[in-house]
Chain A
């Protein structure tokens, strides 16, 4: 099956600085890569996604880059704010719309 690795597992950044989270995937057939933000006890919320026909996508302070050749994709958050503190999960699709999730990154924004 699909394997998705995510790094780092924890990340602390000063408010206003940028945060970068990286993921690699194993199935070369994967073509959809979403990122979810999950606050404690809550549901995962889709914050941005990218499909394999593009290399980069941006939505305000959040961007995702994809390198299909290397099979890795990254989440970039700029001008971080305290409310960005949460656990972030990357994911990749495989067979029939199923998603495999990365192991998660606990992001802490230091005021």
Chain B
């Protein structure tokens, strides 16, 4: 397998502020990471693909200026929710491909974002 960590696990912020979420691959290097959003009782929706050393690719309907992704190193990708609003409250999860089978994805523990 592969170990992926996320920080913070929970964050509560005021409307209009920005929040940064970190995703780290702990025992391997990941040139690609994925960011998902999961609303209560719903499925995981892919937001964007984070690419080390280049721009992230966003899924249709995801605002790239609102959800800033930076993949500055082979073990760290960050997602910044800018000018957060209550409708951005969700469970944000990152994943990284496995080392042996790159189509297998291993998930971080997730970040519960609550915007007041």
Point out residues on A near B: beta carbons under 8 Å. Answer: 1, 32, 34, 36, 41-46, 49, 89, 93, 96-104
Contact = CB atoms under 8 A, between A and B. Distances in A.
A101 B34 contact: no
A89 B105 CA distance: 13
A46 B103 contact: no
Interface string B29-62: 0001010000000111110010000000000100
Contacts of B108: 43
Contacts, number: 49
Contacts of A99: 34, 46, 105
B110 A104 contact: no
B43 A97 contact: no
Nearest to A43: B107
Given A1-B60, A36-B107, A98-B34, 20 more contacts: A32-B103, A32-B104, A34-B105, A41-B110, A43-B109, A43-B110, A44-B93, A89-B44, A96-B49, A97-B32, A97-B102, A97-B103, A97-B105, A98-B46, A99-B105, A101-B43, A102-B43, A103-B42, A103-B43, A104-B42
Query: Interface residues of B toward A: which range?
Result: 20 to 34
B91 to A, nearest CB: 8
Interface string B82-114: 000000000101000100001111111110100
Nearest to A32: B103
Contact of B44 (A1, A41, A44, A96): A44
